[in-house]
Structure 1
Amino acid sequence: ALIFGPQFGSFHGATAWRQTLGGIRAALRASDACLGRHTLQIFRSPAFNFDPVNTPRQQAVFSTYMRPLVEAEGMVYVDNYPASYDAVFQNTPHAIKFAKNSAFHYLNAGRYLMTQLLLHTLQILAPAPS
Structure 2
Amino acid sequence: MCTQKPLHDHSQQLYEKYHEPFEEYIKSTVMHVVKEKHDEYMMQEPAKRWSNHKVIVRWLSRFCYYLDRFISQRSLPLLNEVCLTCFRDLVDKEHEDSGSYYSRKSSSWIHEDSCPDYMLKA
Q: Which has the higher strand share?
A: 1
Work out whether the TM-score is over 0.5. Answer: no
Instruction: Compare CA radii of gyration and give the structure with the larger one.
Output: 2
Scaled by the length of structure 1, what TM-score is found? Answer: 0.35
Between the two structures, name the one with larger relative contact order (CA 8 Å, sep ≥ 6).
2
Scaled by the length of structure 2, what TM-score is found? Answer: 0.36
